[in-house]
Amino acid sequence: KAGENKQINPQLMKDHLKRTKGKVITRFPPEPNGFLHIGHAKAINVNFAYAEAFKGETNLRYDDTNPEAEEDQYFQSILKSIEWLGCKPTRVTYSSDHFQKLYELAIVLTKKDKAYVCHCTAQQMHEGRGGDTKGERKGCIHRDRPVEESLTEFRKMKEGFYAEGEATLRMKMDMNNPNPQFWDLVAYRVLYTHHVRTKDEWCIYPTYDYTHCLVDSFEDITHSMCTVEFVMSRESYYWLIDALEIYKPVQWEYGRLKLTNTVLSKRKLNKLVTEKYVAGWDDPRLHTLDALRRRGFTPEAINAFVRELGVTTTNSTIEMSKLEKVVRDHLNEVAPRLMVVLDPLRVTLTNLPYGHVEELELKEKDGSTHLVPFSKVVYIDRSDFSEEDDPNFFRLKKGMSVGLLQVPHPITCNEVIKDSKGKIIELKCNYDKDVKFVKPKTYIQWVGESSRHQSPIPVEIRLYSNLFHHSDPDNKEQVPGGWLSDINEESLQVKNGFMEVGIRHQLVPENKFQFLRIGYFCIDKDSDFEKNKYVFNRTVGLKEDSRK
């Protein structure tokens, strides 16, 4: 492929090498029209890792040529996400920094008779390109107007003489080429929109097709890596560079990442956010990097995930379970363990004296321990008790015993207390310390009361499942009603549970834990540490099938 990229003028390459000293230079070029998502993590990895392998450089370039969709908050979140992943751009650049130079080159292109001002409507342009039937293509009446006339008209475009839609600058390419990227692409359009950075300086804006390759060239990018849908653009990229006789980078393509049961396109994410299907760009059910971070994903896990994908030219759809496995494996190594009950059921150990508190040791994976109070009243998870006559239920039943994690002796349930509606509100159990020890079939997690804090710490726990029912919500065969009709209304479930008191000092923003027997959880930003109000997000269950 590099063979197609012959510099028309070897001097251009010599000058480039003089400027770069032969360094590899890549760039990550997001449009600041939304938050970065897991697909961008792949793009970031491809660009930064390639440059790093050759001790090169990587620019973060804000590709800010569509002022209608771009906002200051997006510029900020993009850099934050890149840094969170551990990447440090060599420089931060903006396509808009080159608006003047791009304008001047458009004049050069027009003078070479390789661009013209066109007054066709969008519909007329579409028809000239063969229309809906992809029929005969032909250049419009403006295509062959004199160069001088186009130069005058282009200046008028810039000076605000035309309303939006009344004039464009089009590249004079090749209407006979089978590649649609040659059908006289638009280079400039009239747009009376305020730009976050250039304010109201311009009322014409360059298009992606015109800007991208030129800014790559200005920045001396050696490898311009993009996703495979741009494969047809590679030739037109080279066409424009050659037409202007400037330094020419190489374009390489790699596969776009897709994940099952979610959407990644920023246009769709924007819709989910603005129409309030989710709580914001960082809603933990989304797969933006901010959402994954809030959900409890680590940068290490995300980097490992995208690295494992490798760089191929196929657009792959990856199972969500694969992403979850990577974070589960990482959290299993690093997250401290503790006991939490999601749905507390009070258990009174009738044979222990009032005020009885014993400090027991809970072991961490690394061998360290913290203390948990074992008291006359403890809480277990409601799901660990059953009144059903199920021989395969090995947790607590009336008349039977179960082990409490780290507690020396089992407990036996003697009495079930219910309220007037028949709901179980308490179990009366015996702590079997004076009975011959029989090893219980199962040990369950529990939370006790400390003498200092009295009750356990109440916590709000948010459990997430897939935001979309189907693996490919965009697929009309799977989801005839369209992707928005596929939203899982039960993707967020809220529990009010109890947490042990032994790890208070670790209750800090974004800390991650393994809740024994349940899964991996992360402290959410909705927590109020002053008021002892704690909110946790479930990052992922302990095992693959424990997600729902």
Task: List active site positions.
Answer: 31, 256, 266
Whether the CB-CB separation of 41 and 289 falls below 8 Å is answered with yes
Of 356, 354, 358, 351, the C-alpha closest to 415 is 351
Question: What per-residue string of b and e applies to 101-130 under the rule 16 or more CB within 10 Å gives b?
Answer: ebbebbbebbeeebbbbbebeeeebebbee
Closest separation in Å from C-beta 266 to Mg ion: 5
Q: Which part of the chain contacts ligand ATP (CB under 6 A), choosing from 40-48, 237-245, 287-295, 530-538?
A: 40-48
Whether the CB-CB separation of 500 and 372 falls below 8 Å is answered with yes
Could you give the CA distance from residue 52 to residue 29 in angstroms, rounded to a whole number?
17
In the complex with ligand ATP, the residue whose CB is nearer, 39 or 128, is 39
Could you give the CA distance from residue 382 to residue 388 in angstroms, rounded to a whole number?
13
Could you give the CA distance from residue 533 to residue 459 in angstroms, rounded to a whole number?
7
Closest separation in Å from C-beta 256 to Mg ion: 11
The residue written with tokens 């920045």 in the block is 219
Q: Which two tokens stand for residue 188?
A: 């400039």
Closest separation in Å from C-beta 208 to Mg ion: 7
Applying CB under 5 A, among 15, 31, 235, 474 the residue interacting with Mg ion is 31
Q: Is residue 42 involved in binding ligand ATP (CB under 6 A)?
A: yes
Shortest Cβ contact with ligand ATP: which residue?
39
Q: Which part of the chain contacts Mg ion (CB under 5 A), choosing from 23-31, 340-348, 361-369, 402-410?
A: 23-31
Q: Is residue 60 involved in binding ligand ATP (CB under 6 A)?
A: no
Question: What per-residue string of b and e applies to 16-31 under the rule 16 or more CB within 10 Å gives b?
Answer: beeebeeebbbbbbbb
Question: Among ligand ATP, Mg ion, none, what does residue 293 contact (CB within 5–8 Å per kind)?
Answer: none
Question: Among ligand ATP, Mg ion, none, what does residue 227 contact (CB within 5–8 Å per kind)?
Answer: ligand ATP
Could you give the CA distance from residue 67 to residue 100 in angstroms, rounded to a whole number?
16
Closest separation in Å from C-beta 271 to ligand ATP: 12
Query: What amino acid occupies position 375?
Result: S
Q: Is residue 266 involved in binding ligand ATP (CB under 6 A)?
A: yes
Closest separation in Å from C-beta 221 to Mg ion: 16
Applying CB under 6 A, among 16, 25, 35, 40 the residue interacting with ligand ATP is 40
Q: Which two tokens stand for residue 9?
A: 């003028």
Could you give the CA distance from residue 505 to residue 503 in angstroms, rounded to a whole number?
5
Count interface residues toward Mg ion (CB under 5 A). 1
Closest separation in Å from C-beta 200 to ligand ATP: 24
Closest separation in Å from C-beta 222 to ligand ATP: 16
Question: Among Mg ion, ligand ATP, none, what does residue 117 contact (CB within 5–8 Å per kind)?
Answer: none
Q: What residues from 307 to 366 belong to the interface with ligand ATP (CB under 6 A)?
A: none
Question: Among ligand ATP, Mg ion, none, what does residue 42 contact (CB within 5–8 Å per kind)?
Answer: ligand ATP
Query: What amino acid occupies position 305?
Result: F
Residue 247 neighbours by CB under 8 Å, 6+ apart? 7, 12, 13, 15, 16, 217, 220, 241
- What DSSP designation does 223 have? E
Applying CB under 6 A, among 7, 177, 265, 348 the residue interacting with ligand ATP is 265
Q: Which part of the chain contacts ligand ATP (CB under 6 A), choosing from 140-148, 174-182, 259-267, 341-349?
A: 259-267
Q: Which part of the chain contacts ligand ATP (CB under 6 A), choosing from 211-219, 257-265, 360-368, 532-540?
A: 257-265
In the complex with ligand ATP, the residue whose CB is nearer, 306 or 516, is 306
> How big, in percent rounded to 5, are the helix, strand and coil portions of the chain?
30, 25, 45
Closest separation in Å from C-beta 65 to ligand ATP: 11
Query: What is the torsional sign of CA 304, 305, 308, 311?
Result: negative
Q: What residues from 220 to 249 belong to the interface with ligand ATP (CB under 6 A)?
A: 226-227
Question: Among ligand ATP, Mg ion, none, what does residue 40 contact (CB within 5–8 Å per kind)?
Answer: ligand ATP
In the complex with ligand ATP, the residue whose CB is nearer, 305 or 536, is 305
Torsion of CA 353, 355, 356, 359, to 10 degrees: 170
Q: Is residue 209 involved in binding Mg ion (CB under 5 A)?
A: no
Residue 230 neighbours by CB under 8 Å, 6+ apart? 251, 253
Q: Is residue 31 involved in binding ligand ATP (CB under 6 A)?
A: yes
For the chain, count helices (H), then strands (E). Answer: 12, 27
Question: Among Mg ion, ligand ATP, none, what does residue 448 contact (CB within 5–8 Å per kind)?
Answer: none
Count interface residues toward ligand ATP (CB under 6 A). 14
Residues of this chain that interact with ligand ATP (CB under 6 A) are 29-31, 39-40, 42-43, 226-227, 256-257, 264-266
Residues of this chain that interact with Mg ion (CB under 5 A) are 31
